[in-house]
Copies of this chain bind each other. A is one copy, B any other.
Amino acid sequence: MATQNIKPDQTRFSEDDVLRQIEQAVLDHRLAPGTKLKEVQLANLFGVKRGLIRKVLTRLAHSRLVDQTPNRGAKVAKPSVKEGQDLFATRRVIESAILETLISRAEEQHVERLGRMLDREQKAYLRGDTERALALSVDFHRELARMAGNSVLEEYLNDIIRRTPLVILTHLGVDEHNRCRNQEHEAIVDAIARRDVKTAKKVMNQHLLHIESKIKHKPEKPPADLAELLRPHGVEQPA
């Protein structure tokens, strides 16, 4: 009675899996704004039913990562310049509040943990693994939010983080995009360790304004091949 499946481990993706895969693809700058997301194509790609994809697209639209037009399907969202500016301005507000809350509650172990995260980020950067460094840099901001302990602030920051790559890709050249600078992260952790709210906020604001100041219009990119862009990240691919 040995396993008789021709195709081994035909495990399909769950709804949340698919959602996360697409979110991650946006986060990694693999999915360009404006890319058409066809239901059957995605369903085949992930080995799931179309209904599943349909639900995922609705959810993505709800968090403004996708634009849905009746009878014409879904495209990766292309935030306007205005939306980009509002997003960055709000991010400054949220990250400031996070720092304020965090510093009022921070303990030694928190600072230590942040220090270890900085190390990892720095190492990834030094060995030339910029993709990993970028991911760790995002994690750094997320971790600040988590440590602050306000679930709503955390939720909003995560929302902004998810939407930001689309702003950058739509209005900035890819190469223009400077990832978070490690030294600025270091300065923030230093300020937290000293419980210096004012400095922490100031550095964070500079940090964010630096990217924000670059938002301007740039020419379009051609639509890319979905199958290629979404393929091999994170969760294992079904046979």
Which residues of A does B touch, CB under 8 Å?
A: 55, 58-59, 62-63, 82-83, 86-87, 89-90, 93-94, 97, 101, 150-153, 156, 160
Contacts and interface: CB of A to CB of B under 8 A. Distances in A.
A85 B18 CA distance: 32
Given A90-B152, A93-B93, 12 more contacts: A62-B62, A86-B151, A86-B152, A87-B152, A89-B101, A89-B150, A89-B152, A90-B97, A90-B153, A90-B156, A93-B94, A93-B97
A82 B149 CA distance: 10
Nearest to A59: B62
A183 to B, nearest CB: 28
Contacts of A83: 151-152
* Leading 9 A-B pairs by shortest Cβ distance: A90-B152, A93-B97, A86-B152, A86-B150, A86-B151, A62-B62, A87-B152, A90-B153, A156-B156
A152 B63 CA distance: 12
A236 B170 CA distance: 42
Nearest to A61: B59
